[in-house]
Amino acid sequence: MGEDMSNKTNSGHFFEDFKVGQSIQHATPRTITEGDVALYIALTGSRYAQFSSQKFAFDVGFEVAPVDSLLLFHIVFGKSVPDISLNAVANLGYAECKFLRTVKAGDTINSQSEIIGVKENSNGKTGVVYVRTRGFNQFGKEVLSYCRWVMVNKRDANHPAPRAELPNLAPFVAPTDLVAPCELKPEAWDCDLSGSKYSYEDYEIGEKIDHKDGMTVEEAEHQIATRLYQNTAKVHFDGFGMKASRFGKRLIYGGVVISTARAIAFNGLENAGQIIAINAGRHVNPLFAGDTIYAWSEVLDKVEIGGGWGALRLRLIATKDLPCDHFPLKTESGDYLPDVLLDLDYWVAIPLRRFMQIGV
């Protein structure tokens, strides 16, 4: 480095920089506004009534309209990228994601992470880092907590491997840890306005839903969305640099896949707008601009959680360029089909029937 050159640029952390127990306050707190909410609708096509209408939200029991859990998730996640995953090779998985408090437009969110595990890979060039990231509001209250693990490059392949430490992650968020989004008012959830008469009671374990609609994603769309979340991972934005990558082009942020699939999933899950936990998630194949996302869901479990709400444990499968009327998932040998993008296991809140007002 020449004497007139700066060392102020963040080059991100490498595998050997991460120590178990280390805590990181991420930069760029964000006040979520009505502008962000409008953009989230415009970028995903979300139609869940409680996020779209202040009046609907108030009438059913919210103080004001909540912000979509996924918009919150992406914002909290985005802040962690410069510190955690700027040099990530791959985002391997999520677990123990809990939405703890309702967030509304006007709230200011910041994001912190703790390193909870490290394990060098046998190739000696990369390692897996496990982090727990938490989002906090302007009052310092925790609104979101999740774990993820990423494969990160080592700066120096000769750096000795640390002692492997793996976190003990729950296979799914326990029903007792689920937080109801609000106290629902009896018979207040207007099914004509929400778009469906199906309540918690109507969904059965094992039921599969083909959401039918398809959504093509353009370069401009995923870039605008990912910047909205202030996620800076180079792979999403640097088209010139990505020509030299193994894909030869920009990769779409996995959160765009999740949000698009969830917007598509409105068709068949109209009253199940609010994600309250993510048990596990894997991006099993990459998405590129020009691909069309389709999605289907399976009901894995169900439980009442109080406040007038039940929770459905859903598996959400997103595909590319493959409609889901046959519920595509894996090959006979048990591998994911190359058309499958996402395998997400999450809990969503849905009103009990007696809190709904079924149209006449």
Task: Annotate 13-27 with b (16+ C-beta within 10 A) or e (fewer).
Answer: bbbbbbebeeebebe
Distance between the two ends of the chain, CA-based, in angstroms?
Answer: 74
CA gap 211, 261 in Å, rounded: 9
Give the shortest CB-152-to-a copy of itself separation in angstroms. Answer: 17
Give the shortest CB-265-to-a copy of itself separation in angstroms. Answer: 10
| Interacting residues of 55 by C-beta distance below 8 A, sequence separation 6+ | none
CA gap 296, 283 in Å, rounded: 15
CA gap 38, 222 in Å, rounded: 16
Nearer to a copy of itself, 306 or 330 (CB): 330
CA gap 49, 55 in Å, rounded: 10
Nearer to a copy of itself, 110 or 279 (CB): 110
Nearer to a copy of itself, 49 or 147 (CB): 49
Note the Cα 275 to chain centre separation in Å.
9
DSSP state of 139: T
Nearer to a copy of itself, 98 or 310 (CB): 310
Give the shortest CB-293-to-a copy of itself separation in angstroms. Answer: 9
CA gap 157, 126 in Å, rounded: 8
Nearer to a copy of itself, 124 or 290 (CB): 290
Give the shortest CB-245-to-a copy of itself separation in angstroms. Answer: 12
CA gap 8, 24 in Å, rounded: 18
Nearer to a copy of itself, 26 or 134 (CB): 26
Residue 177: exposed, middle, or buried by beta-carbon count in 10 A (0-12, 13-18, 19+)? middle
Q: Report CA torsion sign: 60, 66, 70, 73.
A: negative
Give the shortest CB-199-to-a copy of itself separation in angstroms. Answer: 11
Nearer to a copy of itself, 228 or 311 (CB): 228
One-letter identity of residue 211: H
Cα separation values, 176 from 34, 161, 186, 303, 355, Å: 32, 38, 23, 10, 21
Give the shortest CB-239-to-a copy of itself separation in angstroms. Answer: 3
CA gap 44, 52 in Å, rounded: 13
Nearer to a copy of itself, 30 or 98 (CB): 30
Give the shortest CB-190-to-a copy of itself separation in angstroms. Answer: 8
Give the shortest CB-5-to-a copy of itself separation in angstroms. Answer: 5
Give the shortest CB-164-to-a copy of itself separation in angstroms. Answer: 29
Nearer to a copy of itself, 216 or 331 (CB): 216
Residue 240: exposed, middle, or buried by beta-carbon count in 10 A (0-12, 13-18, 19+)? exposed
